[in-house]
Amino acid sequence: MKRVQFNRPLLPYLLILPQMAVIVIFFYWPSAQAIQSSFYIEDPFGFGATFVGMANYQDILSSREYLKIANFTVVFTFLVTFLSLAIGLLLAVKADKVIRGSSAYKTLLISVYAVAPPVAGLIGVMFFDQHIGPFVDLAAWFGWDMRVGIDYWDTAIAMITISVWKQIPYNFIFFLSGLQGIPVSVVEAAAIDCRSPVRRFWTVVLPLLSPTAFFLLIINMTYALFDTFGIIDTTVKDKAANNPITLVYKVYMDGFRGNDIGGSSAQSVILMLVVFVLTVFQFRFIERRVHYT
């Protein structure tokens, strides 16, 4: 906060009022409701609710279906995070190197940032379509009968590919700005000391990029967990039965399709804890990061 500040009794409250009103009505109220209804079983026909303590949580955590989805979510999150970080980094390193055409590359590589996840999902679904999809034809060449939307892992591959595609620009932007933030003197000194560019990359450049990479790691995990909703929704096309879905999608399915309000709320609370842990991690790290720069 500032050393010099205004000292008015009423004005700051007025200034902050709109933001607080929105947050209380649309954030705290629903969140409190989620926590509350996670301890109740609601009558499906709307005739009141019964307090059941931790029963909703026990049901979820002992359900094999939920554990399967949780497993898939972990695999999905790992692959999406890893692949989009790796490809983003590779492209950023190359874009940082070339001189001719570098701004054209940059523009082309970042524009997919602006594509909405469900739109990305729709285009992806077309590419993996049984009738018109080139990827299915390509797979058929190798004798692989790809059936996206029917076969569990084929659908998963399509979902992961689309999610990675959508996230690469974000990582590319951050890695490129990280690379450009490395002082020229450091790069030159390293070039004098070590001939091998590959070794220079691993021992000098990558450690200097590690704060960016760590920050991106958390962001990508949150992306894979939450922002991929639109991609999953368009890929499974409302037929979640045999298809892979993530935990967030399950919250939506149970709440809006299954009308299981207690169970859906309890899942929300579990996810809240996951996000909470991730965010605490992120902020502890950001404090450390200050020392780097």
List the interface residues with another protein, window 225-284 (CB under 8 A).
226, 229-230, 233-234, 237-238, 248, 251-252, 255-256, 261, 264-265, 268, 271-272, 275-276, 279
E strands of 31-166, at which residues? 40-42, 49-51
- 49 touching another protein, by CB under 8 A: no
**How many residues sit in the footprint of another protein (CB under 8 A)?**
97
Q: Is 135 exposed, middle or buried (0-12, 13-18, 19+ CB in 10 A)?
A: middle
CB of 111 to another protein, least distance (A): 5
- 70 touching another protein, by CB under 8 A: no
φ, ψ for residue 141, nearest 5 deg:
-55, -40
- 191 touching another protein, by CB under 8 A: no
Q: How far apart are the first and last CA of the chain?
A: 21
Residue number with CB closer to another protein (64 or 142): 142
Among 54, 123, 140, 189, binds another protein (CB under 8 A): 123
Among 51, 64, 65, 107, binds another protein (CB under 8 A): 107
- 201 touching another protein, by CB under 8 A: no
Among 83, 133, 148, 159, binds another protein (CB under 8 A): 133
Q: What is the dihedral of CA 28, 34, 38, 41, to 10 degrees?
A: 130
Radius of gyration (C-alpha) of the chain in whole angstroms:
24
Q: SS3 of 41, please? A: strand
The answer to whether 34 touches 268, Cβ cutoff 8 Å, is yes
Stretch that binds another protein, among 49-57, 151-159, 200-208, 222-230 (CB under 8 A): 222-230
The answer to whether 201 touches 93, Cβ cutoff 8 Å, is yes
What is d(CA 253, CA 20) in angstroms, rounded to the nearest whole number?
31
Among 174, 204, 221, 266, binds another protein (CB under 8 A): 174
